[in-house]
Structure 1
């Protein structure tokens, strides 16, 4: 803690509390599969950087392998087959050879090459790279975080180095003692798939989404994401890109409803100088910008019919022809389409091409609305509150039981997007560290008996929220939860079964 207090962090105590929480999380909840992902997620949240990477160094060969990466809110497992050795990249090599941290606050004047970082639409502006050590004080890896804004990242170096070193030491212990790791995994809940994809949710509905993402992420299939507005279609698209083989290339997003037909065509396909009035230079289209990577066509149901025919040709032939060009050229782009519309119904009405629909729906994924995701509302609310507190550089907030009850009772027609906006606003309004119903500004449920739940249903809903909250506070340990509530453990188990609280909702801890 001395190192943190001596820095210029705006809220060192809040940072120290969050850091300690991550140490506990890594030590208790992490296993061989989830530790690297938990580490880079922690670094991204603590440093408020868009990118965090964890590299592991092979002591015998000196190879430096990327084992986990967190990019723009999405987690991917790094290079699972270890095909690339990063030890000779200038920034990483400097840290390895000098065994000291390196912070760059202005890339424009930097002498170091940083082309190994993921290509983004906005250039990287600041970077911090720290060495990680094993118990023998030898280099065991490197931890890197980078921001697209100019930041003073040096103050994070010592604490993040300690966090990363702890992670690799835990990982080495689990690998050397598989029997202990196996016993630990039996005493914990199964690692949530979100640790691999960077998504939040443990409901049955989300389990199916995780399963489908895992099936398609390493293929070149065209994916069609369907779901109501606000269900997180772009977040899932980023997860598919970042966890797949194209993660080192560009991820480009185009909303098909944001431009009129003429402008949308020129944005997608590009144009040559003189193609139309005002075309004074060549313009690279988004298909070319996404070459080697992924292009997300959001709101594909709003694409005009004439453009649908041209998109079909891209999918069939893998080539585009810019406006004003005399010939087409090949592009290597993975297409992910997203829509809240019923495309099959639009095909029947003649407003969407049938042949394009079947091309896009090569691998459809239906994203569940929030009202069908059981208790994911509470998991998401806590996640959003933690991120909002860090962004505002405030102490982490807690939740009152009444506020949690309101959240669980709300239908959320705007889905995850509505919940995030609601929580962000509540954190901003919360001055005493506890979110109350007044901070949520949700309308009270109707009191008419014809539409309201019965008294028993209402009480059970309140009890369900309360029990889940207590279990989360005790990290899923049912023995400690029963002790805190002042009831016998068998009574707690009976109530959990009676209220249909599945084991997947909270980690099992005894």
Structure 2
């Protein structure tokens, strides 16, 4: 009997038979290297479209990568596609989109690969994982105006099956560390920024990624220590296990001990049941001990034993048991000074600082303010269900000249407030509420330096929009390519954008 989902398609029985054949190929013939490509090809052939694309979404960072494409002669574009208007709509709304007349729609389609004929019809479906969250997208596009809506249910099932199979393949292999001799793009870990300081930080992350070393993240408040910890977990071999966070300053000593190690029924007054501690909850995964410098001395000794022996003993228990947990500690305090003052155990410090990573302050990340601000603005607009906002030149100038003592956290809060205050789709200096620059700043910062900061942010944004292609960027700016290359070198802009693609 014909499935009612196929009755509106031409030759429904043939389509159903072909669909089953593709499911069999994906489940039996495909491996990790060929699975995504086969899925993109299947989508294009089933929908009788020239283009098929499969996107993978990182559940931690939200980054959307194009991992496979079926289109003769077209290269696979790199980069983060989560902010492309059409794709962002499907992601945010978790609903399929079918456009019979792409040229007459309100959606931008410049992200589609160039072809001999314009794209006239398009369909895009969200793909769900086993937790019913969006794990990716499957897109088909045709150079003919045609209805594609009836293909959506079967394409959604096919794509979801392919992503599930790909996830299984990836779980079967350990994480792959970047080559130690190559520069590491922050985008490889879902981080944002092109500065030298961030590239150096990511190189350290790449070295420790697939080890069992304890990592100590140090840096000022607001530098993104938890974000980096999540990146280490998500890119490493424990990515499919739990990531647990505990702020050591959030509980008094007694409660923190029971929270970390757990307790048995009757261990103390009010302990009416067994309680699983965070070490057990993070078994097989990663435990982030945030603000480790605020942990009481008595508890530090018990933590040291866990790190040395790899076992925990819940309160009220007579025996200890083994746990397999990767520890990442984070602090804004000067632990070296605390050790000298006797407020932090020296043996624990050396155990935690097996592999320290110093996170740079935002003022040390030259050129990263604008990409971060743009990302925060896109996220805020998506959360509010609003169209993306633009930035005025004066607002960009204020951002580039502000010192950001609160680092990335201050920038994020500032941008989210500006998006909320912005009513006309353009962020102005008044929306940022930044203090005016004192007149004495002119002594330290020349007009040329201020203009170069704005120009640097503008060029990085243009490169990002053109996915690192300097020829297209020069054409958009209306300058010769050699002029653009000179300005990039003069302003010390990396030759690769966050997507890592150059022409």
TM-score by length of 1: 0.65
* SS of residue paired to 1:503: coil
- How far is the alpha carbon of 1:353 from its aligned partner? 0.6
Task: Quote the residue 1:47 is aligned against.
Answer: 91
Partner of 1:327: helix, strand, or coil?
coil
- Residue 83 of structure 1 is matched in structure 2 by none
The reply on whether 1:465 has 2:457 as its aligned counterpart is: yes
1:424 to 398, 403, 416: 416
Q: Secondary structure at the match of 1:502?
A: coil
Cα deviation, residue 440, structure 1: 1.1
Residue 342 of structure 2 aligns with which residue?
350
Alignment RMSD, CA only? 4.2
Match of 1:256 in 2: 248
Q: How many angstroms apart in 2 are the aligned matches of 1:131 and 1:454?
A: 48
Rate the CA distance shift 1:267–1:444 in 2: closer, same or farther, 3 A: same
Over 3 Å counting, the alpha-carbon distance change for 1:163 and 1:197 in structure 2 is farther
- The structure 2 residue matched to 1:269, chosen from 247, 261, 265, is 261
8 Å CA contact 1:203–1:504 kept in 2: the answer is no
Residues 1:312 and 2:304 aligned together: yes
1:126-141 equivalence runs, <5 A: 126-127=132-133
Show the 5 A alignment for 1:376-455.
376-448=368-440, 452-455=444-447
Deviations 1:313-360 (A, max 9, x none): 000111111111111111111111011111111111111111111111
Q: Which residue of 1 aligns with 2:146?
A: none
- Decide whether aligned partners of structure 1 residues 206 and 163 sit closer, same or farther in structure 2, where only a CA change above 3 A counts: farther
Change (3 A) 1:446 1:133: closer
Residues 379 and 131 of structure 1: CA distance in aligned 2, closer, same or farther (over 3 Å): closer
State the match for 1:494 in structure 2: 486
Q: SS of 1:231's equivalent?
A: coil
User: What's the offset of the Cα at 1:500?
Assistant: 3.0
Q: By how many angstroms is 1:475 displaced? A: 4.4
**From 191, 196, 199, the counterpart of 1:204:** 196
Distance 1:160 1:439 in 2: 44
Q: Does structure 2 retain, via aligned residues, the 8 Å contact 1:26–1:38?
A: no
Q: Could you tell me how far 1:485 is from its partner in structure 2?
A: 4.5
Q: Does structure 2 retain, via aligned residues, the 8 Å contact 1:204–1:373?
A: yes
Note if contact 2:91-2:126 (Cα within 8 Å) is conserved in structure 1: no
Deviations 1:33-76 (A, max 9, x none): 957x86899978852499xxxxxxxxxxxxxxxxxxxxxxxxxx
For 1:43-442, list aligned pairs within 5 A: 46-48=90-92, 117=130, 124=131, 126-127=132-133, 161=156, 193-442=185-434
Counterpart CA distance in 2 for 1:269 and 1:285 is 4
User: Which consecutive aligned stretches of 4+ in structure 1 deviate over 6 angstroms post-superposition?
Assistant: 22-28, 30-33, 39-45, 101-104, 128-131, 157-160, 162-165
Unaligned runs of 5+ in 1: 1-18, 51-100, 105-113, 118-123, 136-153, 172-189
- The answer on whether the counterparts of 2:363 and 2:407 sit within 8 Å (CA) in structure 1 is yes
Report if the CA contact (8 A) 1:39-1:164 is conserved: no
Q: Secondary structure at the match of 1:281?
A: coil
Change (3 A) 1:39 1:376: closer
| CA drift at 1:503 | 2.2
Partner Cα distance (1:467, 1:337) in 2: 37
3-state SS in 1 of match to 2:448: helix
Whole-Å separation in 2 of the counterparts to 1:260 and 1:251: 23
